[in-house]
């Protein structure tokens, strides 16, 4: 098994981070040459990326993905992850096309110049959040982009740099890294992410139940003073932002209002909800510049995703079944 390195937030809440030396990682993933290219010269292989952990919530982990050498990751990179408990039992799946673990998933972060920030130059870094906010990240593609991580759980991550068309070959896998999500909160006062509410809405995904609060099922919600019924809210949830700050802000605002209607403590989010409503009311033809909405979107996401200190915390797995709310 590959060597692991770990991030452990102190008591899962304080956020103290521990890393292995980047120099040691770079020694382990030094650039190399492989087969001959068409012109007879040795083709280069990209160095494996270097993973570090930036922050955690109860439902997501933000990674720093850095180039392993001066070659960087000019065409972007891919990340895989799974629960450490399952990794310890089975290791990584033999094929990423066959999901051999209930928690295994993957994401591709496109490095198309001008379209995303994932084309890493040299030993610079890109930042990605693994969790259901991938749905809103431009250039991110994942089969579980609306699935949050579980609170109070260890996850194993690895990454590789994509091959460059007409250029260097893709890298080997990075050193495996372990991160821990923040603690779960008390059932009944906790929050859920946009992905949970989206997949447990009027048209549930898979075997999920429709668990939106009764008041929202009956009367919908107001966004910026405009009423939306449950189906229109779900349509917004399922709309990709595509560079529209109105959509990404609406996703987090809807989730925050659903959490409050579901009984979560609103004291830390009430002012941000009011500010988001005021900003959405100013949208022109359903559009707001991402730069105008990014701060409020992040603040609402911190509340919904259970960032320590930003709200009551993320709900434990299957808490609806535990408290009989469905």
Counting Cβ atoms within 10 Å, is residue 113 exposed (0-12), middle (13-18) or buried (19+)?
Answer: exposed
Q: How far is CA 246 from the centre of its chain?
A: 19
Angle of the 230-237 helix axis to the 245-261 helix axis, nearest 10? 130
Averaging pLDDT over each range in 25-34, 36-45, 131-140, 311-320, which range is the top one?
A: 131-140
User: What's residue 58's pLDDT?
Assistant: 97
Express each pLDDT in 146-174 by its tens digit: 899 999 999 999 999 999 988 899 999 99
Q: What percent of the chain has pLDDT over 70?
A: 81
Taking the alpha carbons at both ends of the chain, their separation in whole angstroms is 42
Half-sphere exposure of 114 (CA within 13 A, CB side): 0
Lowest average pLDDT, out of 67-71, 137-141, 244-248, 299-303, goes to 137-141
Taking residues 9-19, what's their average pLDDT?
37
Averaged pLDDT for residues 175-187: 94
- Looking at domain 4-180, its CATH architecture is Sandwich (2.60)
Give the Å distances, CA to CA, from 263 to 199, 240, 251, 271: 19, 28, 19, 17
pTM of the model: 0.84
At 142 the pLDDT is 94
* For residue 34, pLDDT beyond 60: no
Q: What is the reported pLDDT for 14?
A: 35
The interaxial angle of helices 270-280 and 290-305, nearest 10 deg, is: 150
**What phi, psi does 53 have (nearest 5°)?**
-115, 135
pLDDT score of 7 more than 50: no
> By the 8 A CB rule, do 156 and 85 touch?
no
41 has a pLDDT exceeding 70: no
Specify the DSSP class assigned to residue 47. Answer: P
Residue 137's pLDDT is: 87
pLDDT digits (tens, 9 = 90+) for 254-298: 999 999 999 999 999 999 999 999 999 999 999 999 999 999 999
* Higher-scoring residue by pLDDT: 322, 295: 295
Among the residue ranges 15-29, 98-112, 131-145, the one predicted with the least confidence is: 15-29
Query: H or E segment at 222?
Result: strand 221-223
Percent of the chain scoring above 90 in pLDDT: 73
Rounded distance between C-alpha atoms, residue 245 and residue 255, angstroms: 16
Give the start-to-end residue ranges of the domains of the chain. 4-180, 194-323
Average pLDDT of the chain, as a whole number: 86
pLDDT of amino acid 187: 75
């Amino acid at each position: 098994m590959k060597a692991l390195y770990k991030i452990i937030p102190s008591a899962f809440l304080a956020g103290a981070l521990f890393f292995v030396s980047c120099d040691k990682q770079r020694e382990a993933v030094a650039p190399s040459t492989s087969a001959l290219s068409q012109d007879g010269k040795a083709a280069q292989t990209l160095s494996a990326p270097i993973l570090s952990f930036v922050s955690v919530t109860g439902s997501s982990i933000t990674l720093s993905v850095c180039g392993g050498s001066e070659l960087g990751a000019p065409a972007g990179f891919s990340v895989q992850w799974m629960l450490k408990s399952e990794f310890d039992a089975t290791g990584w799946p033999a094929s990423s096309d066959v999901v051999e673990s209930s928690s295994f998933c993957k994401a591709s972060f496109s490095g198309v110049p001008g379209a995303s920030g994932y084309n890493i130059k040299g030993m610079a870094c890109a930042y990605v959040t693994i969790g259901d906010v991938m749905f809103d990240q431009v250039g991110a593609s994942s089969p579980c982009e609306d699935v949050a991580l579980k609170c109070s759980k260890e996850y194993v991550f690895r990454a590789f740099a994509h091959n460059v068309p007409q250029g260097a070959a893709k890298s080997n896998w990075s050193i495996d890294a372990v991160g821990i999500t923040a603690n779960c909160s008390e059932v009944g006062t906790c929050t859920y992410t946009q992905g949970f509410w989206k997949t447990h809405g009027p048209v549930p995904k898979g075997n999920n139940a429709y668990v939106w609060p009764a008041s929202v099922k009956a009367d919908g919600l107001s966004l910026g003073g405009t009423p939306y019924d449950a189906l229109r809210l779900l349509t917004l949830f399922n709309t990709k932002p595509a560079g529209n700050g109105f959509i990404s802000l609406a996703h987090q605002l809807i989730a925050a209002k659903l959490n409050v209607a579901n009984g979560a403590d609103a004291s830390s989010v009430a002012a941000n909800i009011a500010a988001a409503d005021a900003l959405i009311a100013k949208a022109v033809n359903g559009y707001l510049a991402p730069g105008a909405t990014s701060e409020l979107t992040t603040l609402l996401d911190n509340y919904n995703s259970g960032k320590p200190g930003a709200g009551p915390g993320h709900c434990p797995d299957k808490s609806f079944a535990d408290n009989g709310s469905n």
